[in-house]
Amino acid sequence: MKTGSHATAATAFAFTQKKQIAGTLGRSGEITTPHGTIQTPAFIPVGTKATVKSVLPESMAQLGSQALLANAYHLYLQPGPDILDEAGGLGRFMNWPGPTFTDSGGFQVLSLGVGFKKVISMDEEMFRSDEVIADHKERLAHVDDDGVTFKSHLDGSMHRFTPEVSMQVQHQLGADIMFAFDECTTLHNTRKYQEKSLERTRLWAKRCLVEHGRLTQARSHRPYQALFGVLQGAQYEDLRRKAAQDLSALNEESVEFDGFGLGGALDKASLGTIVGWMTSELPVNKPRHLLGIGEPDDLFVGVENGADTFDCVAPSRQARTSAVFTLDGRVNISNAKYRRQFSPIVDGCDCYTCTHYSAAYLHHLFASKEMLASTLATIHNERFIVRLVDQMREHINADTFYEFKNEFLPRFYFKRLA
Ligand SMILES: [Zn+2]
């Protein structure tokens, strides 16, 4: 067992690696936070504005979600970090007793401001540059070496995020795991810009550690909040490895990163390779979170290459458009063929939706635009992805990871073509 834990006794943050997939960087483990433990690998559902849209936190716990991730940018604008601080932190505010994450806001500040549509897990063969940077969209964010100035997408008001502001906001939000403020680039930025941006992110990471150390001391009456450094470097091996080496070596007045976020633009075809470059440089006793990844094939590749936790809005976003997961791939429940399917969406699925309602009922709810449609479809999709990653963990522990992968993926992606 290899254990890493933060220096002071009251911190209660640690990671223990349990089992490795033979011959790979993939592993199972356990993250300990002040609000409970997370068995890894684990999928962390996203509640952007401190709510998984249309679903009760109690239902998220019931469907097996071990933690939730909220968005610092959105909560900063509404209701404001002071409100969450006064409420006793994100978990208490939304009645979620388990572990919580917040991202740094860096991705949203830049993506909502500049107008990127897709950044994470892009399939290079599939996209055109106008899908990445929307020309018609007003440029709402400007980056300089000190931080980012941006216009609120809600009311047009001007704001400025620096590494220090991001740390102050995230400490007020009170999540168990926070991310350092970084610049998220795209695959379309030049190599020269990627180099410059990576150095900027490294300098911001140092400033985040200093401010995080100061706030941890000033707010020692609060539960310890862990800070993850975010690795960028786009598709370049040397930059990805350098980011991992640089950020894992940082130590500002005895404050180090507790874990790492694997971020930025990742071409789908080389996702595993890029994740492997980073994780092979990172210490084994600290957890790694792969940001914004939630497609089944990407999750297998991420787990195999040493990522421990994942988050993505896709399961709930797709559910609201009537796209639901089955073992034979994603299907649209609004399709006429489900009108008389009085069995569940997936036979044998243990989710609340499938154990109580038929596909025909869900089809009807979507057809009549009832709110319950989103609730029931989201519960099924989140359960499907949470359970998939839980099964990967169980198969790692039983030395049967590849048997499970070879059983799941061909059926999910190819059977419907037959
Ligand atoms: Zn189900």
Give 268-281 pLDDT, tens digit per residue.
899 999 999 999 99
β-strand partners of 133: 116
Distance of CA 370 from the midpoint of ligand 1 (Å): 19
306, pLDDT greater than 90: yes
**Tens-digit pLDDT profile for residues 3-27:** 554 444 455 899 999 999 999 999 9
- Mean pLDDT across the chain: 90
Q: Which of 75, 139, 85 is nearest to 110 (CA)?
A: 139
CA of 362 to the centre of ligand 1 (A): 11
The catalytic site residues sit at 103, 311
Q: What is the pLDDT of residue 139?
A: 58
Residues counted in the chain: 418
Neighbours of 168 (CB within 10 A): 17
pLDDT at 111 over 50: yes
Tokens of 133: 């940077």
% of the chain exceeding 70 in pLDDT: 89
Residue-wise burial string across 75-107, b where 16 or more C-beta atoms lie within 10 A, e elsewhere: bbbeeebeebbeeebbbebbebebbbbbbbbbb
Span from the CA of 21 to the centroid of ligand 1 (angstroms):
29
> What's the token pair of residue 217?
């001391």
- The string of DSSP codes covering 352-404 is HHHHH--HHHHHHHHHTT-HHHHHHHHHHHHHHHHHHHHHHHHHHHTT-HHHH
The Å distance, Cα 28 to ligand 1 centre, comes to 25
Q: Which range (89-93, 180-184, 218-222, 235-239) has the least confidence?
A: 180-184
Instruction: Reply yes or no on whether the pLDDT at 332 is more than 50.
Output: yes
Expressed in angstroms and rounded, the spacing between residue 50 Cα and the centre of ligand 1 is 24
Distance 407 CA to ligand 1 centre (A): 19
pLDDT at 242 over 70: yes
Closest by CA position to 270, among listed 295, 315, 311, 236: 236
Q: Which has the minimum average pLDDT: 104-108, 203-207, 228-232, 271-275?
A: 104-108
Position 104 pLDDT exceeds 70? yes
Tell whether pTM > 0.75. yes
Residue 112: the pLDDT is 63
The bridge status of strand 158-161 relative to strand 147-151 is antiparallel
**CA angle centred on 290, ends 289 and 291, rounded to 5°:** 105
Over range 41-68, report the average pLDDT.
98
